[in-house]
Amino acid sequence: MMTTTDTTAPPRGRRRGTYAKTEATRQAILDAALEVFAQSGYRAGSLRDIAARVGMSEAGLLHHFRNKSALLEAVLEERDERARVQVPIESDDGAAVIRGLVDLAAHNASSPGVVELYTTLSAEATASDHPAHGYFVRRYEYTRGNVERSFGQLRDEGRLRHGMTPRRAAITAIALMDGLQVQWLLDRDALDMAVELRALFASFVDIDWPDAPRESGDAGDRTAS
């Protein structure tokens, strides 16, 4: 029997190494893009600036993401992946999802640039020709559906207060989160997003909380930092 050697296929180790390097480069591009878009906005943030931050050419960047719109969508999906660490959005434990939304609000306060990017893009994307329009339509549908399901689980457990429906609770929760972000971006000393969100949830759902954060007071009651 003749033994042949296939010299066209790279060794397995090399293939895995190449893949790992590609993934590392892709992640570095996403991190840089998130920084640039958060600092300059999507329209003003340039691919050239993003590429420079990771030490490559614009052509090299386009090898990984076909255009700026594709990069933006990947950045938004990356943000969602990070958010899922805070919110077990598809969990069958409705209370855990609601607590996770409060945790996410607290976490977002540490990333004002990202919050500003998301808030600006979500408003701009109401235009049907915006590159992120489809993403935000899908995201709101996905989030609304899962949060509604969580409130539905709590209703079935007798923990949703009388007069509130799961769908109305989900719509209200998402609207409040988005509205709080705008108010907080305008004046970060005016409110604590997590405290306000938790207070709203406490008004229409009966769940246990792991701790008791301070209540928001009047501006005059806060100690200046």
Output the DSSP codes for the chain. Answer: -------SSPPHHHHHHHHHHHHHHHHHHHHHHHHHHHHH-TTT--HHHHHHHTT--HHHHHHHSSSHHHHHHHHHHHHHHHHHHH--TT-S-HHHHHHHHHHHHHHHTT-HHHHHHHHHHHHHTTSTTSTTHHHHHHHHHHHHHHHHHHHHHHHHTT-BPTT--HHHHHHHHHHHHHHHHHHHHH-TTS--HHHHHHHHHHHHB----SS-PPPP--GGGSPP-
Residue 117: predicted pLDDT:
85
Domains by residue range for the chain, with CATH: 12-65 (1.10.10.60), 68-210 (1.10.357.10)
What is the full per-residue pLDDT of the chain (225 aa) written as tens digits? 444 434 344 455 555 666 677 888 999 999 899 888 877 778 888 899 999 999 999 999 999 998 998 898 888 888 887 777 778 888 889 999 999 999 999 988 988 888 888 888 888 889 999 888 999 999 999 999 999 999 999 999 999 998 899 999 999 999 999 999 999 999 999 999 999 999 999 999 999 888 654 444 444 443 333
Residue 166: predicted pLDDT:
96
Residue 217: predicted pLDDT:
46
Rounded to whole angstroms, what are the CA distances from 143 to 146, 187, 207? 5, 27, 20
